[in-house]
Amino acid sequence: MLSHRSKLAVLLCLGLATATCVAADQTSVAQRFHVDLAVAGTDVASGRLLVFAEPAKDAEAGAKNGKVQEVDLDPLQPDKVNVAAREVNRLVAGQGVDIDADQQAYPAAFSKLAPGDYYVQAVLDSNHSYNYGGRGEGDLVSGVVKVHLPATGLPPIKLATRLPAADPWALSPSINPAAREAMPEARKHVQTIDFVSPALSAFWGRPIHMRGLVLLPPGYDAKGSATYPVVYYTHGFGGGMDHFAGVVANTWLAMSNGQMPPMIWVLLDESLPTGTHEFVDSVNNGPWGKALTEELIPQLESSYRMDAKVSGRFLNGHSSGGWATLWLQTRYPKIFGGTWSTSPDPSDFHDFTGVDLYATHANVYRNAAGAAYPLVRDQGKVIASFQQYAQLERVFGSYGGQMASFEWVFSPRGADGRPLAMFDRDTGDVNANVVDYWRDHYDIAHRLQAQWPQLAPDLDGKIHLIVGTADTFYLDGSAHRLKAVLDGLHAQSDIRFLPNKTHFDLYAVGADRTALLKQIAWEMYAVARPQSNLKRAAAP
- pLDDT tens, residue by residue, 263-292: 999 999 999 999 999 999 999 999 999 999
Instruction: Give the burial string for 437-463 (b: 16+ CB within 10 Å, else e).
Output: bbbebbbbbbbbeeebeebbeebbebb
Cα dihedral value 464, 465, 469, 475, nearest 10: -170
Work out the angle at residue 519's Cα, subtended by the Cα atoms of residues 514 and 520, and round it to the nearest 5 degrees.
Answer: 95
Q: Is the distance from CB of 35 to CB of 51 less than 8 angstroms?
A: yes
| Whether residue 66 sits in one domain with residue 209 | no
Same structural domain for residues 429 and 449? no
pLDDT of residue 1: 34
**Which band of pLDDT confidence, cut at 50, 70 and 90, is reported for residue 540?**
confident
Is residue 30 within 8 A of residue 150, CB to CB? The reply is no
Q: Note the pLDDT of residue 85.
A: 98
Domain assignment present for residue 497? The answer is yes
Q: Is the dihedral of CA 216, 220, 222, 225 positive or negative?
A: negative
pLDDT confidence bin for 28, thresholds 50/70/90: low
Residue 193: CA count within 13 A, CB half-sphere: 30
Confidence at residue 386, expressed as pLDDT on a 0 to 100 scale: 97
279 and 328 together in one domain: yes
> What integer pLDDT is reported at residue 16 of this predicted model?
32
pLDDT per residue as tens digits for the range 468-525: 999 999 999 999 999 999 999 999 999 999 999 999 999 999 999 999 999 999 999 9
Do 118 and 229 fall within a single domain?
no
CA separation for the pair 480, 439 (Å, rounded): 18
Q: How many domains does the chain have?
A: 3
> In whole angstroms, what separates CA 460 from the centre of its chain?
29
pLDDT value, residue 24: 39
Same-domain status, 75 and 12: yes
Q: Is the residue at 400 inside a domain?
A: yes
Q: Are residues 385 and 449 located together in one domain of the fold?
A: no
Percentage of the chain beyond pLDDT 90 is: 90
Give the per-residue SS3 of 404-447.
HHHHHHHCCECCCCCECCCECCCCCEECHHHHHHHHHHHCHHHH
- The reply to whether 324 and 243 lie within a common domain is yes
For residues 40 and 111, give the distance between their C-alpha atoms in angstroms, rounded to a whole number.
33
Judgement on whether residues 380 and 403 belong to the same structural domain of the protein: yes
Q: Of 424, 440, 456, at which residue does a domain stop?
A: 440
Question: How far is CA 420 from each of CA 215, 358, 389, rounded to the nearest angstrom?
Answer: 39, 17, 19
> Is there a domain that residue 129 lies in?
yes
Instruction: Render pLDDT for 218-230 as a digit per residue (tens, 0 to 9).
Output: 999 999 999 999 9
Checking if the pLDDT of 240 tops 80, the result is yes
Which has the minimum average pLDDT: 17-21, 360-364, 450-454? 17-21
Domain hosting 520: range is 185-348+444-528
With respect to residue 354, please indicate whether it lies within any of the assigned structural domains: no
Q: Are residues 312 and 251 in the same domain?
A: yes
Predicted confidence at residue 264, as pLDDT, reads 98
Which of 4-13, 50-59, 303-312 has the lowest average pLDDT? 4-13
Q: What is the percent of the chain where pLDDT is above 70?
A: 95
Helical residues (DSSP H) of 205-340, grouped into ranges = 245-256, 288-290, 297-301, 320-331
Mean model confidence pLDDT for the chain: 93
- The least confident of 292-296, 342-346, 393-397, 534-538 is 534-538
Binning pLDDT at 50, 70 and 90, where does residue 66 land?
confident
CB-based burial, 183-211: b 16+ in 10 Å, e otherwise: beebeebbeebebebebbeebeeeebebe
Q: Identify whether residues 145 and 116 lie together within a single domain.
A: yes
Query: Who wins on pLDDT, 20 or 504?
Result: 504
pLDDT in tens, 104-132: 999 999 999 999 999 999 999 999 999 99
**Domain with 224 in it: what CATH number?**
3.40.50.1820
HSE at residue 5, side-chain half, CA atoms within 13 A, is: 14
462 in a domain, yes or no?
A: yes
pLDDT given at position 13:
30
CA distances, 257 to each of 84, 222, 316 (Å): 50, 22, 21
pLDDT in tens, 148-169: 999 988 999 999 999 999 999 9
Identify the pLDDT of residue 31. Answer: 93
For residues 420 and 410, give the distance between their C-alpha atoms in angstroms, rounded to a whole number.
Answer: 9
Task: Classify strands 275-276 and 264-268 as parallel, antiparallel or unpaired.
Answer: unpaired
Please check the confidence at residue 134 and state whether its pLDDT lies above 50: yes
pLDDT of the residue at 76 = 78
Task: State residue 75's pLDDT score.
Answer: 78
* End residue of a domain, out of 440, 455, 473: 440
The answer as to whether 363 is a domain residue is no
Confidence band for 46, pLDDT divided at 50, 70 and 90: very high
- 274 assigned to some structural domain: yes
Q: Are residues 389 and 279 in the same domain?
A: no
Question: Is residue 358 a part of any domain in this protein?
Answer: no
Last residue of a domain, one of 440, 461, 495: 440
Same domain, 216 and 299: yes
CA gap 228, 520 in Å, rounded = 16
Give the three-state DSSP class for 288: helix
Cα 312 to chain centroid distance, Å, stands at 28
- pLDDT reading at 22 higher than 70: no
CA 271 to chain centre: 8
Q: At what angle do helices 402-410 and 386-396 cross, to 10 degrees?
A: 90
